Amino acid sequence: MNNNAKAVWVNCLKIIKDNINHQSFKTWFDPIIPIKLNDNVLTIQVPSQFFYEWLEEHYINLLRKTVKKELGTNGRLEYSIVMEDGLNKKNPVSIVIPTSNRPATINPDVSMPFYLKGQSKVIPDPFIIPGIQKVKVNSQLVERYTFDNFIEGDCNRLARAAGLAIGGNPGKTAFNPLFIYSKVGLGKSHLAHAIGLEVKNRYPDKTVLYVTTDQFIAQYIESVRNNNQNDFTNFYQLIDVLIIDDIHFLAGKEKTQDVFFHIFNQLHQKSKQLVITSDKPPVEIEGMEPRLLSRFKWGLTADLQTPDLETRIAILQKRLYSDGIEMPENVVEYLAYSITSNIRELEGAMISILAQASLNKKEITLELTKQIVDNFIKNTNKEISMDYIQKVVSDYFGLSIEQMNSKTRKRNIVQARQLSMYFSKQHTKASLTAIGLQCGNKDHATVLHACKTVQNLIDTDKEFRSYVDDLEKNIKL
Using alpha carbons only, give the angle 108, 112, 117 rounded to the nearest 5 degrees: 100
246 vs 97, which has greater pLDDT?
A: 246
- H helices present in 360-431, as ranges: 366-378, 386-397, 401-404, 411-427
Q: What is the pLDDT of residue 129?
A: 45
398: Cα within 13 Å, side-chain hemisphere: 1
Phi, psi (degrees; rounded to nearest 5) at 315: -65, -45
pLDDT surpassing 80 at residue 415: yes
- H helices present in 121-239, as ranges: 157-168, 188-202, 213-225, 229-236
Q: What is the pLDDT of residue 2?
A: 64
User: What is the identity of the amino acid at 237?
Assistant: Q
Across the range 50-58, mean pLDDT stands at: 79
β-bridge pairing 93-98 and 178-181: unpaired
Residue 369: other Cβ atoms inside 10 A: 25
Query: Which string of DSSP letters, residue by residue, matches 76-134?
Result: EEEEEEEE--SS-TTS-EEEEEEPP-PPP---SS-PSSP--TTS------SS---TT--
Compute the distance between CA of residue 423 and CA of residue 445 in angstroms, rounded to an integer: 16
pLDDT band for 125, please (50, 70, 90 cuts).
very low
Least confident window among 81-95, 123-137, 272-286, 457-471: 123-137
Q: 200: buried, middle or exposed (CB in 10 Å: 19+, 13-18, 0-12)?
A: middle
Q: Which residues contact 280 (CB under 8 A, 6 or more apart)?
A: 181, 248
Q: 332: buried, middle or exposed (CB in 10 Å: 19+, 13-18, 0-12)?
A: buried
pLDDT surpassing 90 at residue 392: no
In contact, 273 and 241? CB cutoff 8 Å: yes
**DSSP code, position 288:** S
Query: Which secondary structure element, helix H or strand E, spans residue 56, and what is its range?
Result: helix 49-58
**DSSP code, position 364:** -
Residue range 87-112, pLDDT digits in tens: 444 444 555 566 655 554 445 444 33
In contact, 42 and 4? CB cutoff 8 Å: no
225: Cα within 13 Å, side-chain hemisphere: 6
pLDDT surpassing 50 at residue 292: yes
In contact, 440 and 406? CB cutoff 8 Å: yes
In contact, 423 and 385? CB cutoff 8 Å: no
466 vs 93, which has greater pLDDT?
A: 466
Compute the distance between CA of residue 207 and CA of residue 3 in angstroms, rounded to an integer: 51
Across the range 380-405, mean pLDDT stands at: 79
Q: Which residues contact 389 (CB under 8 A, 6 or more apart)?
A: 420, 423, 424, 427, 428, 475
The CA distances from residue 422 to 118, 394, 411, 454, in Å, are 54, 14, 16, 7
Q: What is the mean pLDDT of the chain?
A: 81
pLDDT surpassing 90 at residue 72: no
User: The whole model's pTM is what?
Assistant: 0.57
48 vs 435, which has greater pLDDT?
A: 435
Compute the distance between CA of residue 182 and CA of residue 344 in angstroms, rounded to an integer: 13
Residue range 127-136, pLDDT digits in tens: 544 443 445 6
Q: What is the pLDDT of residue 267?
A: 92
Across the range 289-302, mean pLDDT stands at: 89
Report the CATH fold assignment for 3-98. Answer: GMP Synthetase; Chain A, domain 3 (3.30.300)
Compute the distance between CA of residue 317 and CA of residue 335 in angstroms, rounded to an integer: 11
pLDDT surpassing 90 at residue 194: yes
Residue range 10-47, pLDDT digits in tens: 988 988 888 787 777 888 888 899 988 888 888 888 88
In contact, 475 and 427? CB cutoff 8 Å: yes
Residue range 338-382, pLDDT digits in tens: 777 778 778 778 888 888 777 777 788 888 888 777 766 554 445
309-378 maps to which CATH number?
A: 1.10.8.60
442 vs 91, which has greater pLDDT?
A: 442
Compute the distance between CA of residue 44 and CA of residue 12 in angstroms, rounded to an integer: 12
In contact, 40 and 76? CB cutoff 8 Å: yes
Phi, psi (degrees; rounded to nearest 5) at 339: -115, 110
Residue range 199-230, pLDDT digits in tens: 999 998 898 999 999 889 988 888 888 888 88
243 vs 468, which has greater pLDDT?
A: 243
Instruction: Give the bridge partners for 49, in sequence order.
Output: none
User: What is the identity of the amino acid at 91?
Assistant: N
Q: Which residues contact 5 (CB under 8 A, 6 or more apart)?
A: 34, 35, 36, 37, 42, 43
Residue range 141-192, pLDDT digits in tens: 888 888 988 888 888 889 999 999 999 999 888 899 999 998 888 889 999 9
Across the range 329-346, mean pLDDT stands at: 80
Query: Which secondary structure element, helix H or strand E, spans residue 23, and what is its range?
Result: helix 22-28
pLDDT surpassing 80 at residue 456: yes
- Crossing angle of helices 60-71 and 3-17, in 10° steps, is 130
Compute the distance between CA of residue 395 and CA of residue 389 in angstroms, rounded to an integer: 10
Report the CATH fold assignment for 409-476. Answer: Chromosomal Replication Initiator Protein Dnaa; Chain: A; (1.10.1750)
What ranges do the domains of the chain cover? 3-98, 157-303, 309-378, 409-476
pLDDT surpassing 90 at residue 383: no
pLDDT surpassing 70 at residue 245: yes
157-303 maps to which CATH number?
A: 3.40.50.300
**DSSP code, position 317:** H
In contact, 359 and 48? CB cutoff 8 Å: yes
Q: What is the pLDDT of residue 167?
A: 92
